[in-house]
Amino acid sequence: MSDPSLIRAQFDIRRPGFGMQPRLELPGRGVTALFGHSGSGKTTLLRAIAGLERHPGGYLEVNGETWQDEARQLFVPTHRRALGYVFQEASLFAHLSVRGNLDFARRRAGAADGGRVMAHAVDLLGIGHLLERRSGELSGGERQRVAIARALLTQPRLLLMDEPLASLDVKRKQEVLPYLERIHAELDIPMLYVSHSAEEVARLADHVVLLDGGQVLASGPAADTLARLDLSLALADDAGVLVDGVAIAYDAHYALLAMQAAGGTMYVAHAALPAGARLRLRILARDVSLALSAPPDSSIQNQLPATVAAIWPADTAAHVVVKLDAGGTPLLARITRRARDQLCLEIGTLVWAQVKAVALLSLREET
Protein backbone atom coordinates (compact mmCIF):
# COMPACT_ATOMS: atom_id res chain seq x y z
CA MET A 1 0.00 0.00 0.00
CA SER A 2 1.31 3.48 -0.88
CA ASP A 3 2.36 5.66 2.02
CA PRO A 4 1.36 9.34 1.61
CA SER A 5 4.32 10.54 3.72
CA LEU A 6 7.27 8.64 2.27
CA ILE A 7 9.56 8.73 -0.74
CA ARG A 8 10.56 5.24 -1.86
CA ALA A 9 13.29 4.89 -4.47
CA GLN A 10 14.90 1.77 -5.89
CA PHE A 11 17.17 1.65 -8.94
CA ASP A 12 19.69 -0.64 -10.60
CA ILE A 13 22.13 1.75 -12.25
CA ARG A 14 24.99 0.25 -14.25
CA ARG A 15 27.63 2.08 -16.27
CA PRO A 16 31.15 1.16 -17.35
CA GLY A 17 33.25 1.34 -14.21
CA PHE A 18 30.36 2.43 -12.00
CA GLY A 19 27.20 0.96 -10.56
CA MET A 20 24.75 1.62 -7.77
CA GLN A 21 21.69 -0.14 -6.46
CA PRO A 22 20.12 2.23 -3.96
CA ARG A 23 17.14 1.10 -1.89
CA LEU A 24 15.85 4.14 -0.05
CA GLU A 25 12.87 5.02 2.11
CA LEU A 26 12.98 8.74 2.85
CA PRO A 27 10.77 11.19 4.75
CA GLY A 28 8.03 12.68 2.61
CA ARG A 29 8.62 16.14 4.04
CA GLY A 30 11.57 18.27 5.08
CA VAL A 31 15.05 18.33 3.52
CA THR A 32 16.94 15.14 2.70
CA ALA A 33 20.58 15.70 1.81
CA LEU A 34 22.34 13.38 -0.63
CA PHE A 35 25.86 13.82 0.69
CA GLY A 36 29.20 12.50 -0.49
CA HIS A 37 32.39 13.25 -2.38
CA SER A 38 32.52 13.87 -6.11
CA GLY A 39 31.77 10.66 -8.00
CA SER A 40 29.78 9.09 -5.17
CA GLY A 41 26.58 8.92 -7.25
CA LYS A 42 24.62 11.87 -5.84
CA THR A 43 23.71 13.51 -9.16
CA THR A 44 23.18 10.14 -10.84
CA LEU A 45 20.61 9.23 -8.19
CA LEU A 46 18.92 12.63 -8.47
CA ARG A 47 18.63 12.32 -12.26
CA ALA A 48 17.06 8.89 -11.88
CA ILE A 49 14.52 10.31 -9.43
CA ALA A 50 13.78 13.15 -11.85
CA GLY A 51 13.17 10.65 -14.65
CA LEU A 52 15.99 12.11 -16.74
CA GLU A 53 17.48 8.62 -16.83
CA ARG A 54 15.50 5.37 -16.96
CA HIS A 55 17.06 2.29 -15.40
CA PRO A 56 15.91 -1.35 -15.29
CA GLY A 57 14.16 -2.46 -12.15
CA GLY A 58 13.41 1.11 -11.12
CA TYR A 59 10.71 2.03 -8.63
CA LEU A 60 9.84 5.50 -7.39
CA GLU A 61 6.96 6.54 -5.20
CA VAL A 62 6.55 10.11 -3.94
CA ASN A 63 4.09 10.61 -1.10
CA GLY A 64 1.63 8.01 -2.35
CA GLU A 65 2.04 8.71 -6.10
CA THR A 66 3.96 6.18 -8.18
CA TRP A 67 6.19 7.74 -10.84
CA GLN A 68 8.07 4.61 -11.87
CA ASP A 69 7.42 0.90 -11.48
CA GLU A 70 9.29 -1.12 -14.09
CA ALA A 71 7.63 -4.32 -12.86
CA ARG A 72 4.37 -2.87 -14.24
CA GLN A 73 6.04 -1.07 -17.17
CA LEU A 74 5.08 2.25 -15.60
CA PHE A 75 7.29 5.26 -16.24
CA VAL A 76 6.04 8.82 -15.86
CA PRO A 77 8.23 11.09 -18.04
CA THR A 78 9.99 14.03 -16.44
CA HIS A 79 7.68 16.68 -17.89
CA ARG A 80 4.68 14.97 -16.29
CA ARG A 81 6.26 14.61 -12.85
CA ALA A 82 5.27 17.28 -10.36
CA LEU A 83 8.82 18.25 -9.54
CA GLY A 84 11.05 21.29 -9.62
CA TYR A 85 14.73 20.91 -10.51
CA VAL A 86 17.47 23.42 -9.67
CA PHE A 87 20.85 22.79 -11.28
CA GLN A 88 24.33 24.03 -10.36
CA GLU A 89 23.99 26.69 -13.04
CA ALA A 90 20.82 28.79 -13.15
CA SER A 91 20.47 28.55 -16.98
CA LEU A 92 18.09 31.50 -17.24
CA PHE A 93 16.91 32.79 -20.61
CA ALA A 94 19.40 35.56 -21.38
CA HIS A 95 17.03 37.45 -23.68
CA LEU A 96 14.32 37.70 -21.01
CA SER A 97 14.08 39.77 -17.87
CA VAL A 98 13.68 38.07 -14.49
CA ARG A 99 9.95 38.68 -14.80
CA GLY A 100 9.99 37.13 -18.27
CA ASN A 101 11.81 34.04 -17.01
CA LEU A 102 9.29 33.61 -14.22
CA ASP A 103 6.31 34.29 -16.51
CA PHE A 104 7.56 31.59 -18.88
CA ALA A 105 7.67 29.05 -16.04
CA ARG A 106 4.28 30.18 -14.76
CA ARG A 107 2.64 29.79 -18.16
CA ARG A 108 4.14 26.32 -18.63
CA ALA A 109 2.77 25.26 -15.24
CA GLY A 110 -0.69 26.40 -16.37
CA ALA A 111 -2.10 26.68 -12.83
CA ALA A 112 -5.22 28.77 -12.39
CA ASP A 113 -3.68 30.65 -9.45
CA GLY A 114 -0.30 31.11 -11.12
CA GLY A 115 -0.24 34.82 -10.36
CA ARG A 116 -0.58 34.22 -6.63
CA VAL A 117 2.05 31.49 -6.71
CA MET A 118 4.43 33.78 -8.59
CA ALA A 119 3.92 36.61 -6.12
CA HIS A 120 4.61 34.24 -3.24
CA ALA A 121 7.76 32.86 -4.87
CA VAL A 122 9.05 36.38 -5.58
CA ASP A 123 8.48 37.34 -1.95
CA LEU A 124 9.94 34.11 -0.60
CA LEU A 125 13.19 34.54 -2.54
CA GLY A 126 13.42 38.31 -2.07
CA ILE A 127 13.70 39.08 -5.79
CA GLY A 128 10.98 41.70 -6.22
CA HIS A 129 13.57 44.41 -6.92
CA LEU A 130 15.17 42.28 -9.64
CA LEU A 131 12.11 41.64 -11.81
CA GLU A 132 13.00 44.08 -14.61
CA ARG A 133 16.67 43.11 -14.83
CA ARG A 134 18.12 40.84 -17.51
CA SER A 135 19.84 37.67 -16.29
CA GLY A 136 23.24 39.02 -17.37
CA GLU A 137 22.85 41.86 -14.88
CA LEU A 138 22.47 39.53 -11.90
CA SER A 139 25.08 38.23 -9.48
CA GLY A 140 25.54 34.48 -9.17
CA GLY A 141 23.52 34.40 -5.96
CA GLU A 142 20.71 36.43 -7.52
CA ARG A 143 20.62 34.11 -10.52
CA GLN A 144 20.24 31.07 -8.29
CA ARG A 145 17.46 32.71 -6.29
CA VAL A 146 15.60 33.38 -9.55
CA ALA A 147 16.20 29.76 -10.64
CA ILE A 148 14.76 28.49 -7.34
CA ALA A 149 11.73 30.78 -7.70
CA ARG A 150 11.24 29.47 -11.23
CA ALA A 151 11.29 25.88 -9.93
CA LEU A 152 8.68 26.76 -7.30
CA LEU A 153 6.35 28.11 -9.99
CA THR A 154 5.82 24.56 -11.23
CA GLN A 155 4.06 23.96 -7.88
CA PRO A 156 6.12 20.81 -7.34
CA ARG A 157 5.35 17.91 -5.04
CA LEU A 158 9.12 17.33 -4.88
CA LEU A 159 11.96 19.85 -5.17
CA LEU A 160 15.33 18.58 -6.43
CA MET A 161 18.46 20.67 -5.94
CA ASP A 162 21.75 19.56 -7.49
CA GLU A 163 24.51 21.45 -5.64
CA PRO A 164 22.80 24.81 -6.25
CA LEU A 165 25.54 26.70 -4.37
CA ALA A 166 28.56 24.91 -5.86
CA SER A 167 29.35 27.66 -8.38
CA LEU A 168 29.09 30.48 -5.81
CA ASP A 169 31.78 32.03 -3.67
CA VAL A 170 31.48 32.06 0.12
CA LYS A 171 29.77 35.46 0.24
CA ARG A 172 27.14 34.49 -2.33
CA LYS A 173 26.51 31.14 -0.61
CA GLN A 174 25.79 32.96 2.64
CA GLU A 175 23.42 35.19 0.67
CA VAL A 176 21.37 32.28 -0.67
CA LEU A 177 21.33 29.91 2.33
CA PRO A 178 18.80 31.93 4.39
CA TYR A 179 16.34 31.75 1.48
CA LEU A 180 16.70 27.97 1.34
CA GLU A 181 16.02 27.86 5.07
CA ARG A 182 12.95 30.00 4.53
CA ILE A 183 11.63 27.61 1.88
CA HIS A 184 12.16 24.76 4.31
CA ALA A 185 10.28 26.59 7.06
CA GLU A 186 7.37 27.97 5.04
CA LEU A 187 6.64 25.43 2.30
CA ASP A 188 5.48 21.87 2.83
CA ILE A 189 7.47 20.55 -0.12
CA PRO A 190 9.96 17.71 0.37
CA MET A 191 13.41 18.62 -0.92
CA LEU A 192 16.25 16.36 -2.06
CA TYR A 193 19.42 18.41 -1.78
CA VAL A 194 22.70 17.22 -3.33
CA SER A 195 25.85 18.56 -1.71
CA HIS A 196 29.43 17.72 -0.77
CA SER A 197 29.52 20.55 1.80
CA ALA A 198 29.22 19.43 5.43
CA GLU A 199 28.21 22.96 6.43
CA GLU A 200 25.30 23.07 3.95
CA VAL A 201 24.12 19.64 5.03
CA ALA A 202 24.26 20.55 8.71
CA ARG A 203 22.48 23.81 8.10
CA LEU A 204 19.64 22.55 5.93
CA ALA A 205 19.10 18.81 6.30
CA ASP A 206 16.61 16.93 8.42
CA HIS A 207 17.69 13.59 6.95
CA VAL A 208 21.03 12.56 5.44
CA VAL A 209 21.88 9.89 2.87
CA LEU A 210 25.64 9.30 2.82
CA LEU A 211 26.95 7.97 -0.51
CA ASP A 212 30.39 6.68 -1.44
CA GLY A 213 31.33 4.99 -4.69
CA GLY A 214 27.69 4.35 -5.51
CA GLN A 215 27.02 2.72 -2.14
CA VAL A 216 24.54 4.00 0.44
CA LEU A 217 26.64 3.99 3.61
CA ALA A 218 23.95 5.46 5.84
CA SER A 219 20.47 6.97 5.73
CA GLY A 220 18.93 8.53 8.80
CA PRO A 221 18.06 11.68 10.75
CA ALA A 222 20.73 14.35 10.31
CA ALA A 223 21.56 14.78 14.01
CA ASP A 224 22.08 11.04 14.50
CA THR A 225 23.95 10.44 11.26
CA LEU A 226 26.42 13.31 11.68
CA ALA A 227 27.37 12.00 15.14
CA ARG A 228 28.01 8.39 14.08
CA LEU A 229 31.66 7.50 14.72
CA ASP A 230 31.53 4.58 12.29
CA LEU A 231 31.11 7.07 9.43
CA SER A 232 33.75 9.32 7.91
CA LEU A 233 31.53 12.36 8.55
CA ALA A 234 32.44 12.34 12.25
CA LEU A 235 36.16 11.74 11.78
CA ALA A 236 37.13 14.62 9.48
CA ASP A 237 38.48 17.98 10.61
CA ASP A 238 35.15 19.72 9.91
CA ALA A 239 33.05 17.13 11.79
CA GLY A 240 30.34 18.46 14.05
CA VAL A 241 27.00 17.74 15.65
CA LEU A 242 23.63 19.45 15.55
CA VAL A 243 22.11 20.70 18.79
CA ASP A 244 18.55 21.95 19.06
CA GLY A 245 17.47 24.22 21.86
CA VAL A 246 15.19 27.02 22.98
CA ALA A 247 16.12 30.66 23.54
CA ILE A 248 15.55 31.60 27.17
CA ALA A 249 17.13 35.04 27.65
CA TYR A 250 19.27 37.67 25.94
CA ASP A 251 22.05 39.63 27.60
CA ALA A 252 22.20 42.90 25.65
CA HIS A 253 25.28 44.09 27.56
CA TYR A 254 27.37 41.14 26.37
CA ALA A 255 25.37 40.44 23.19
CA LEU A 256 24.94 36.80 24.20
CA LEU A 257 21.86 34.64 23.79
CA ALA A 258 21.19 32.00 26.45
CA MET A 259 19.83 28.77 24.99
CA GLN A 260 18.45 25.77 26.85
CA ALA A 261 19.45 22.41 25.37
CA ALA A 262 19.08 18.92 26.77
CA GLY A 263 22.60 19.06 28.25
CA GLY A 264 22.20 22.43 29.94
CA THR A 265 22.34 26.16 29.26
CA MET A 266 24.64 27.41 26.51
CA TYR A 267 25.57 30.95 25.52
CA VAL A 268 25.60 31.90 21.87
CA ALA A 269 27.06 34.98 20.21
CA HIS A 270 23.83 35.80 18.42
CA ALA A 271 21.30 38.56 17.95
CA ALA A 272 18.33 38.73 20.31
CA LEU A 273 15.54 36.20 19.85
CA PRO A 274 12.22 36.03 21.69
CA ALA A 275 12.05 33.58 24.58
CA GLY A 276 10.79 30.24 23.31
CA ALA A 277 12.26 30.63 19.83
CA ARG A 278 13.84 27.40 18.65
CA LEU A 279 17.47 27.49 17.62
CA ARG A 280 19.59 24.91 15.84
CA LEU A 281 23.35 25.00 16.29
CA ARG A 282 26.27 23.18 14.79
CA ILE A 283 29.10 22.53 17.23
CA LEU A 284 32.35 21.50 15.56
CA ALA A 285 34.33 18.70 17.21
CA ARG A 286 37.52 20.73 16.97
CA ASP A 287 35.89 23.48 19.07
CA VAL A 288 35.18 21.18 22.02
CA SER A 289 37.82 20.65 24.71
CA LEU A 290 37.63 18.26 27.67
CA ALA A 291 38.52 18.49 31.35
CA LEU A 292 38.09 16.06 34.24
CA SER A 293 36.66 18.79 36.49
CA ALA A 294 34.91 22.09 35.91
CA PRO A 295 37.65 24.73 35.44
CA PRO A 296 36.98 27.44 38.06
CA ASP A 297 38.73 30.18 36.10
CA SER A 298 38.16 29.95 32.36
CA SER A 299 37.21 32.24 29.52
CA ILE A 300 35.11 29.45 28.04
CA GLN A 301 31.50 30.16 28.94
CA ASN A 302 29.91 26.85 27.98
CA GLN A 303 30.86 24.01 30.32
CA LEU A 304 28.64 20.95 30.20
CA PRO A 305 28.93 17.76 32.28
CA ALA A 306 29.17 14.76 29.97
CA THR A 307 30.03 11.07 29.81
CA VAL A 308 32.41 9.50 27.30
CA ALA A 309 30.32 7.25 25.07
CA ALA A 310 32.94 6.15 22.51
CA ILE A 311 36.45 6.91 21.27
CA TRP A 312 37.56 6.40 17.67
CA PRO A 313 40.69 7.20 15.65
CA ALA A 314 40.34 10.39 13.63
CA ASP A 315 41.50 10.90 10.04
CA THR A 316 44.99 11.86 11.24
CA ALA A 317 47.42 9.81 13.34
CA ALA A 318 47.66 12.49 16.03
CA HIS A 319 43.96 12.75 16.87
CA VAL A 320 41.00 10.80 18.18
CA VAL A 321 37.32 11.70 18.17
CA VAL A 322 35.49 11.34 21.45
CA LYS A 323 31.71 10.95 21.43
CA LEU A 324 30.02 12.41 24.50
CA ASP A 325 26.60 12.19 26.06
CA ALA A 326 25.83 15.58 27.62
CA GLY A 327 22.51 14.95 29.31
CA GLY A 328 21.02 13.46 26.17
CA THR A 329 22.78 15.86 23.80
CA PRO A 330 25.42 14.10 21.66
CA LEU A 331 28.69 15.99 21.29
CA LEU A 332 31.94 15.21 19.52
CA ALA A 333 35.38 16.34 20.68
CA ARG A 334 38.45 16.10 18.47
CA ILE A 335 41.51 15.88 20.72
CA THR A 336 45.06 14.53 20.46
CA ARG A 337 45.86 10.97 21.41
CA ARG A 338 48.28 12.42 23.95
CA ALA A 339 45.44 14.33 25.65
CA ARG A 340 43.31 11.18 25.70
CA ASP A 341 46.09 9.28 27.45
CA GLN A 342 46.88 12.09 29.89
CA LEU A 343 43.21 12.28 30.92
CA CYS A 344 42.93 8.46 30.97
CA LEU A 345 39.74 8.69 28.97
CA GLU A 346 37.68 5.56 28.42
CA ILE A 347 34.03 4.74 27.91
CA GLY A 348 32.12 5.89 30.97
CA THR A 349 34.60 8.57 32.08
CA LEU A 350 32.88 11.67 33.47
CA VAL A 351 34.21 14.87 31.91
CA TRP A 352 33.37 18.51 31.36
CA ALA A 353 32.91 19.54 27.74
CA GLN A 354 33.93 23.12 27.04
CA VAL A 355 32.69 25.02 23.98
CA LYS A 356 33.49 28.63 23.22
CA ALA A 357 30.40 30.78 22.73
CA VAL A 358 31.88 32.19 19.52
CA ALA A 359 32.25 28.65 18.17
CA LEU A 360 28.52 27.97 18.31
CA LEU A 361 27.27 28.51 14.78
CA SER A 362 23.59 29.40 14.57
CA LEU A 363 22.00 27.44 11.77
CA ARG A 364 18.26 27.53 11.93
CA GLU A 365 15.77 29.66 13.77
CA GLU A 366 12.16 28.61 14.19
CA THR A 367 9.46 30.44 16.09
Q: Are residues 216 and 302 in the same domain?
A: no
Between CA 261 and CA 126 the distance in angstroms is 32
pTM of the model: 0.89
pLDDT of residue 309: 97
Please report whether residue 234 resides in a domain: no
Rounded to the nearest 10°, the torsion over CA 190, 193, 197, 199 is -20
- What CATH number corresponds to the domain at position 201? 3.40.50.300
Please report whether residue 232 resides in a domain: no
Q: What is the DSSP string of 37-99?
A: STTSSHHHHHHHHHTSS--TT-EEEETTEEEEEGGGTEE--GGGS-EEEE-SS----TTSBHH
Q: Which residue segment(s) compose the domain that 22 sits in?
A: 6-220
Please report whether residue 63 resides in a domain: yes
Q: Are residues 145 and 182 in the same domain?
A: yes
pLDDT of residue 360: 76
Q: Are residues 199 and 246 in the same domain?
A: no
Of 362, 305, 349, residue with least CA distance to 328: 305
Please report whether residue 228 resides in a domain: no
Average pLDDT per 10 consecutive residues for the chain, totaling 367 residues: 80 91 95 93 95 93 96 95 91 91 85 79 94 92 94 93 92 91 91 92 93 94 90 84 92 94 90 89 93 91 95 95 93 97 98 87 62
Please report whether residue 226 resides in a domain: no
Please report whether residue 49 resides in a domain: yes
What angle (nearest 5°) sits at the alpha carbon of residue 35, between those of residues 30 and 39?
145
Between CA 357 and CA 338 the distance in angstroms is 26
Q: Are residues 110 and 14 in the same domain?
A: yes
Residue 253's Cβ-count burial label (10 Å; 0-12, 13-18, 19+) is: exposed
pLDDT of residue 367: 47
Residues 231, 297 contacting (CB under 8 angstroms) = no
Please report whether residue 53 resides in a domain: yes
Q: Which of the listed residues 186, 220, 254 is the one where a domain comes to its end? A: 220
Q: Are residues 198 and 247 in the same domain?
A: no
What end-to-end distance do the CA atoms of the chain give, in Å? 36
Q: Are residues 203 and 115 in the same domain?
A: yes
Please report whether residue 231 resides in a domain: no
Full strand arrangement of the beta sheet holding 59-62? 23-27, 6-10, 59-62, 65-69, 74-75
Between CA 335 and CA 288 the distance in angstroms is 8
pLDDT of residue 366: 57
Q: Are residues 91 and 205 in the same domain?
A: yes
Between CA 343 and CA 333 the distance in angstroms is 14
Q: Are residues 255 and 178 in the same domain?
A: no
Pairing of strands 191-195, 31-35: parallel
Q: Are residues 182 and 249 in the same domain?
A: no
Q: Are residues 118 and 26 in the same domain?
A: yes
Q: Are residues 199 and 291 in the same domain?
A: no
Q: Are residues 212 and 73 in the same domain?
A: yes
- What CATH number corresponds to the domain at position 356? 2.40.50.100
Q: How many domains does the chain have?
A: 2
